[in-house]
Structure 1
Amino acid sequence: MTWQVLNPYDQKCIGSVDLVDWSKIDRWLDEARTLHEDRQAWIPVHERIAILQRASSLMHERAESLAMQIAREGGKPLVDARAETSRAVQSVELCVHELFASGGRQIPMELTEAGAGRTAYTFREPIGPVVAISAFNHPLNLIAHQVGPAVATGCPVLVKPAKDTPLSCKSFVEILYEAGLDERWCRFVPCTDDVAEQMVTDPRTAFFSFIGSAKVGWMLRSRLAPGTRVALEHGGAAPVIVDENIPRENVIPSLLKGGFYHSGQVCVSVQRVFVPRAELPDFAAALAAGAKALKVGDPTNEETQCGPLIRPAEVDRIEAWVAAAVESGAELAAGGKRIGPTLYHPTVLIDPPRAAKVSREEVFGPVVCLYGYDSIDAAISQANELPYSFQAAVFTERQHIADYCVERLSGSTVLVNDHTAFRVDWMPFAGRRHSGLGTGGIGYTMSDMSPEKMVITRSSSGLD
């Protein structure tokens, strides 16, 4: 069996990958477990550093072709695909940096009489075989975030890419091989969902890294073998509070970027924006004008700002959600219609009902909803009412309002005067509640994949 890889813009086949069956994965899991259990087989840290440095150099040399591959298989506009490629190169470099900066720590023991005469320290060891399942929306950098830390910490890893975007993952794994990594330490595993579940839930899997839908992630977590550690990164319906009297030119460009970057196919994309009710008409007009001016089309064109959605079914879904919101009373300020099988106009809705799907579920498309509010507490209450909690934002020129929102908005991160889709690769990145489990970011993932082991030594003078 194979996966045919389609360009989401024109639906033409641009490649294929052969699927891996369970018999081969079974052998690879045995191989991974054996590698981990045989300490003589572990790759020395200096060799891991050299491999990652060579991989980073190769990626830098091939940056333009990698960016074009992202644009062609994932539909991300070329300007943003180039930025993703640069981030992926940096993510690999960050793995090296973390190896230089990481290590164990001393644990004070003589804080009580019971600990007297003892010294203690920790060091890190690889957790064991890692299974990573990734998402389509950042097909190179997400793989770098999952596989890079596994290689850096000395964990054998099996990686399943998203069905729509396996080519970038394949390229990354092949670059690691070219950089000197033995193939046994990293396996490219495109496979069917049932085979993937069997791989994830196998007791030989020590750590499961998942980026994708909450429904799938939480289901897989419930079926893990005892002892398997896990990191889940899902999405949300990111809220933004706009304070009164803030100049619109300080807000609109940021919301346009945060709401329509990659056509909204981002787990922390701006989705729900709360604006003082008296200012809502003018604010909506300005945001709608900006949305209408965005260039939608072929992602490989330099001028394109919004590319296609990943597949036609996603346009069908979003079209239905927007139509239902409008029928229920939302005002359509911009967009609201498809351009083709996978293209959808950047859309701005005003006051969709709180029960509408666009208000309660992650749209994962080019739709931004505006809501009028009469008090900051009412806006915060509505922002927090969903079971998701990831990144939130507030735009204000008043420090006490910034502090108030930071304290009360539900989220692992609250951005002040910036959009919710902001991220750099070394920062902690974590969904709470339904939005995920654990903390992403290169250093944080490496920590998860290399738990501390403690040594306690009793001084000889204290022996009986």
Structure 2
Amino acid sequence: MSALKEQIFPLQIPNAKSTGEYLEVFSAYDKTYLGKVEVADKKAADQALQNASELFSSKENILTKEQRISILKKAAELIAKEKETVAVQAAAEGGKPYRDSLAEINRAIDGLQSCVEVLRTQAGVEIPMGLNTASNHKIAFTHHEPIGVVLAFSAFNHPFNLIVHQVATAVAAGCPVIVKPAESTPLSCFRFVEFLYQAGLPKQYCQPLAVKDLTIAESLVSDPRIAFFSFIGSSKVGWMLRSKLAPGVHCALEHGGAAPVLLAEDANIKEAIPKLVKGGFYHAGQVCVSVQRIFIPESLLQDFVDPFVSAVKELKVGDPTLPDTDVGPLIREKEVSRLEEWIEEAKQDPETKVLCGGKRISSSCFEPTVLLNPPVTCNVSKKEIFGPVVNLYMYSNFDEALDRANALPYAFQSAVFTSSLDTALKAFRKLKAQAVMVNEHTAFRVDWMPFGGYGDSGLGIGGIPYTIKDLQIEKLLVIHSQEL
């Protein structure tokens, strides 16, 4: 890995005393030291919440839409000027290869612009009046106001763009926000917030919070001054934190999945393979909607398997900061060990075939792996893998494939490859998913579309315009006048 400039971020909480304690950040790939962020203690965290609460308590403190638009546009411009450097830093920190990290930064810039577009087009609605005696001489319409203080806990796998979805949307909505990044990737979060400050955002409006003691974070979740809680991470932690919310607090939870793909008899295999390779091994499979389970008709098995496995074997694994790397490391060394254990478990069944991969390359990297027919009872089949592993399963009829795709408690994004409109519509109707892709991989996303899961996969819908709507109250005004 080429040398990167050390990033150091002090405590960014106005009126809080420096703790003098730092969280050091290391490369996911080779543990190179990258920088550090100052850690908040209980007093600093309480001060952050007090700052945000006091800011929101007076309507005069809320930034006007014009001010918010100016800040968001300026931040996008500042990031665009440094996007290559920011992408390398994000790649080093989180392990996503440089090409994909650069795409993430471009998405972040576009996300800021989408926030501006929402503010420019958002409008209330007129409610019909004069329809009966009670509503005569009245006019009514709605108006959007910020919901209040937002608390956001983020994840490591998109360390820059996820912060846009959780922080920039709050700024656009007019809400003060406290954001806790993933412990593995705080530098990208603090860097994004720094861009907002440079663009003119008052510090009380957005306070990044790094903690080592997770009980500090939990105490914020349960505080009644929080109006909205945004969480991206595991279902176990997400549901636990939701149970601690004060009465009336709104929330959005984005968990994981085990995304299924159904190949129909008439699927265009040649077009499907590069998409499924990308969808399965993008960011080493560490994506909540990564392709994990591919169901293949018996008649197409060999036509699909040989070229698919050949394409997977061509993927280059290594240093994520290099432009020709396809697959980077896993975020933690223990995840490499977990994958080894899960694959060994699957191999105990004689029906399981390891078509490629199956072993660690180093303490941080794992071979892109394709398994054929692992048993449904093993971990790789029934849990979210969150690693560079794709499972292939044979099926005899399409209804059977649909049932097997729906067998897990996840419901996020799924896909079907077919040339038949009827088959596509059947899959859309029957698949247990929030979104169904036709002739596209399950990890497809643009930041303005609705994005989220249900069941074990989460609660609520993300996407820039949908999140901004969630962070606002649609307030009704009714006016009575004899002149109406």
Q: Give the structure-1-normalised TM-score.
A: 0.98
1:265 and 2:286 matched: yes
Aligned mates of 2:130, 2:285 — CA distance in 1:
54
1:376 and 2:398 matched: yes
Partner of residue 297, structure 2: 276
1:35 and 2:55 matched: yes
Partner of residue 322, structure 1: 343
Aligned mates of 1:330, 1:422 — CA distance in 2:
29
Partner of residue 225, structure 1: 246
Tell me which amino acid in the other structure corresponds to 2:395. Y
What are the equivalent positions in structure 2 for 1:139-218 lying under 5 Å apart?
Answer: 139-191=159-211, 192-218=213-239
Aligned mates of 2:441, 2:95 — CA distance in 1:
22
Partner of residue 342, structure 1: 364
Deviation by residue 1:349-403 (Cα, 9 ceiling, x = unmatched): 0011111111111000001001101111100001011110000100001111111
Aligned mates of 1:293, 1:28 — CA distance in 2:
48
Say how many residue pairs are matched: 462
Tell me which amino acid in the other structure corresponds to 2:244. R
1:125 alignment partner, SS class: strand
CA contact (8 A) 1:287 1:348 kept: no
CA contact (8 A) 1:32 1:129 kept: yes
**Range moving further from structure 2, 225-234 or 191-200:** 191-200
CA shift, 1:3, in A, is: 1.7
Classify 1:110/1:433 alpha carbon distance in 2 versus 1 (closer, same or farther; 3 Å): farther
Aligned mates of 1:440, 1:273 — CA distance in 2:
26
**Range moving further from structure 2, 8-17 or 426-435:** 8-17
CA contact (8 A) 1:159 1:189 kept: yes
Aligned mates of 1:294, 1:367 — CA distance in 2:
13
Counting aligned pairs with the same residue, the percent is: 50
1:225 alignment partner, SS class: coil
1:366 and 2:388 matched: yes
1:143 alignment partner, SS class: helix
2:446 alignment partner, SS class: coil
2:230 alignment partner, SS class: strand
CA contact (8 A) 1:8 1:73 kept: yes
CA contact (8 A) 1:349 1:367 kept: yes
Aligned mates of 1:210, 1:433 — CA distance in 2:
15
**Range moving further from structure 2, 280-289 or 445-454:** 280-289
Aligned mates of 1:439, 1:447 — CA distance in 2:
10
1:98 and 2:154 matched: no
CA contact (8 A) 2:268 2:418 kept: no
CA contact (8 A) 2:95 2:330 kept: yes
1:104 alignment partner, SS class: coil
CA contact (8 A) 1:349 1:369 kept: yes
CA contact (8 A) 1:284 1:350 kept: no
1:127 and 2:147 matched: yes
Partner of residue 63, structure 1: 83
1:296 alignment partner, SS class: coil
Aligned mates of 2:366, 2:338 — CA distance in 1:
11
Aligned mates of 1:346, 1:88 — CA distance in 2:
28
* Structure 1 gaps, min length 5: none
| Correspondence for 2:311 among 260, 273, 290 | 290
1:434 and 2:456 matched: yes
CA shift, 1:282, in A, is: 3.5
Tell me which amino acid in the other structure corresponds to 1:359. S
Partner of residue 390, structure 1: 412
Deviation by residue 1:105-150 (Cα, 9 ceiling, x = unmatched): 1111344554333221000111111001100000000001100011
Aligned mates of 2:103, 2:178 — CA distance in 1:
26
CA contact (8 A) 1:208 1:228 kept: yes
Deviation by residue 1:181-204 (Cα, 9 ceiling, x = unmatched): 110111010113211111111111
Partner of residue 430, structure 2: 408
Deviation by residue 1:25-49 (Cα, 9 ceiling, x = unmatched): 1122122111111011111111111
Deviation by residue 1:240-269 (Cα, 9 ceiling, x = unmatched): 000114232111101000000001010000
1:457 and 2:471 matched: no
**Range moving further from structure 2, 170-179 or 38-47:** 38-47
Q: Give the structure-2-normalised TM-score.
A: 0.94
**Range moving further from structure 2, 112-121 or 269-278:** 112-121
Aligned mates of 1:59, 1:206 — CA distance in 2:
29
CA contact (8 A) 2:266 2:420 kept: no
Q: CA RMSD in A?
A: 1.2
Deviation by residue 1:60-100 (Cα, 9 ceiling, x = unmatched): 00101110011110111000010000000111111111000
| Correspondence for 1:254 among 264, 275, 297 | 275
**Range moving further from structure 2, 75-84 or 10-19:** 10-19
CA contact (8 A) 2:448 2:464 kept: yes
* Structure 2 gaps, min length 5: 1-20
CA contact (8 A) 1:288 1:334 kept: yes
Aligned mates of 1:416, 1:110 — CA distance in 2:
47
CA contact (8 A) 2:268 2:419 kept: no
Tell me which amino acid in the other structure corresponds to 2:231. F
1:295 alignment partner, SS class: coil
